[in-house]
Amino acid sequence: MPSKRPTIADIAQDLDLSTATVSRALSGRGYVREDVAARIHAKAQELGYPLREETAGSRVLLVASHAALLDLQRSQFTLHVLEGLRERASGLGIEVEVQGYSDPAEIPPMVLDQPKGLLGIILMTVDDATIGLAHSLPCPVVLLNDDDPLMQIDSVAPCNRSAAALAAGHLKALGHRDIMFLTKPGRRTIARRLEGVRDVLGATLRADHILEVEDWTAEAARNRVAEALRSGPGFTAIVAAGDILAAGAIFAIQESGRSVPRDISVIGIDGLPQGEFTAPALTTIAIPMRRIGAEALALVQENARNRQSDQPPVPRKVELGCRLIERASTAAPPL
């Protein structure tokens, strides 16, 4: 007598999971933790449960700007996002290919030259010109770590405004009133971090307390903060728009003979593992980087399914919440 075809219930029973969790993992609809999804797909293959044809054997093209590729070498944000994307893709039988570009005009040929089986494209850390070009691409497109001002393209990013508000709120709760915002302007996502700081500090955030650097490096932040300290600090705390800038700020403060956090507190936004090893260990707002990668893939899948239906896809903007990791670089202001 032929053996019974395996079911979702069989997989759920073997792994002691709910059928709803197994169904989400196998369909790609909804979030399932990456390690759990991998276990589910491994068990499905072991039992002979057929994966969905629309995902297994498909490919997703991750196209990254030079800014993102540079970040891969500097802060590792891109690396952690890519790990989350690849882990989710592996569980679904999807291949992820990464390509960089120097000119947005290179992107359409990348897509058109792809062999059959391209599920969609993920654009990471791009400018508005590239987003405008992406409107005409003939496949599902998802923006990662960005968003479309016209809401014509799916996107996933951390909630930058609330992340910065958490950072400023932490310092304010400690008693700080003279707070500096250290930033690298130029991207809409970073502008939202400034908005979040303003949400908390209001008029107390003076124009001369917005300190801009020329590059996303610890050295650039170190030099800029050192310059501000020579002019007379006038501030007791710094919200840095990124952990790498926070590290540079700590160096500058210590080199000036001051102490972190006794004289000046510093908080970053990223939650990179390196923050544990600064001296003192960096208080930061942790961005769910791996989850962002996984959610980007889920949006590609949903977009691809919608294109096969009679209903036109409705673009979605997904923002993920962040959390405070309190370490040793923040404290109450000096008396």
Domains in the chain, please, with CATH? 1-51 (1.10.260.40), 55-158+290-320 (3.40.50.2300), 160-287 (3.40.50.2300)
Check pLDDT > 70 for residue 2: no
Cis peptide before 261 (omega within 30 of 0): yes
More confident residue, 138 or 210: 210
What pLDDT sits at residue 54?
A: 52
What pLDDT sits at residue 53?
A: 47
Handedness of CA 169, 173, 179, 184 (dihedral sign): negative
What pLDDT sits at residue 90?
A: 86
Helices (H) and strands (E) in the chain, counts: 12, 12
Percent of the chain with pLDDT over 70: 92
More confident residue, 73 or 47: 47
pLDDT digits (tens, 9 = 90+) for 187-205: 899 999 999 999 999 999 9
Of the given ranges (12-21, 28-37, 250-259), which has the lowest mean pLDDT? 28-37
Q: In Å, what is the CA distance from 30 to each residue of 20, 91, 300?
A: 10, 14, 12
What pLDDT sits at residue 55?
A: 56
What pLDDT sits at residue 111?
A: 83
DSSP percent split of the chain into helix, strand, coil, nearest 5: 45, 15, 35
pLDDT digits (tens, 9 = 90+) for 251-261: 999 999 999 99
Q: In Å, what is the CA distance from 140 to each residue of 94, 97, 137, 239, 299?
A: 15, 15, 8, 37, 9
How far is the C-alpha of 256 from the C-alpha of 232, rounded, in Å?
A: 11
* DSSP label of 287: P
More confident residue, 114 or 221: 221
What pLDDT sits at residue 244?
A: 94
* Confidence label for 64 from pLDDT (cuts 50, 70 and 90): confident
What pLDDT sits at residue 51?
A: 61
> Tokens in use for 71?
């970040």
Check pLDDT > 50 for residue 156: yes
> Tokens in use for 270?
């990223």
Looking at the DSSP bridge assignments, the partners of residue 197 are none
* Confidence label for 141 from pLDDT (cuts 50, 70 and 90): very high
Task: Please state, rounded to an integer, the average pLDDT across all residues of the chain.
Answer: 89
